[in-house]
Amino acid sequence: MGRILGLDIGDVRIGIAMSDELEITAQGLQTFKRKYLEKDIEGIKDIIESHEIMTVIVGLPKLLDGTIGVQAQKVIDFTNVLKTKINVPVIFWDERLTTSEVNKMLIDADVRRSKRREVADKLAAQLILQGYLDRKRIQDNNE
């Protein structure tokens, strides 16, 4: 086993989460503001190398009907470049409604709007990764 990285890739920010070494829980790691493609990729690559990441999970924001829209295509294009720069498997994870879920959680927790922006992407990455880890654990137990 090893650590797994979760990414919530947006136009402005990238939320990043990481699993524990046993691949049971996801913790929000950071959110970084996007600059330009090469710099964004380099930042993710540095995290992969410094934390000995074994797999990367990328949230894919499909449309509600399950099709690929404009935003999902942007994530696919970014991820295709990322794959050429790293040597670990990359898996897409359906993240429909993750952002809505995060915003509702933060509103329910009475987090101010300005603070929500700071933590929303990191929390979305955490939810994406936790969903993957939970599904993986169920599949591993059924084998």
CA-based nearest residue to 18, from 104, 137, 8: 8
Distance separating alpha carbons of residues 30 and 17, to the nearest angstrom: 7
pLDDT of residue 43: 97
Picking from 49, 56, 75, 54, the residue whose alpha carbon sits closest to that of residue 16 is: 56
Lowest mean pLDDT, pick from 17-21, 104-108, 114-118: 114-118
Q: pLDDT tens-digit profile of 31-40? A: 999 999 999 9
* Helices and strands per DSSP (H, E), number in the chain: 4, 5
C-alpha 121: how far from chain center = 8
Mean pLDDT (whole number) for 10-37: 94
Beta strands (DSSP E) in 34-134 are: 53-60, 90-94
The backbone torsions φ and ψ at residue 138, rounded to the nearest 5 degrees and listed phi first, read: -65, -45
**For the whole model, what pTM was predicted?**
0.89
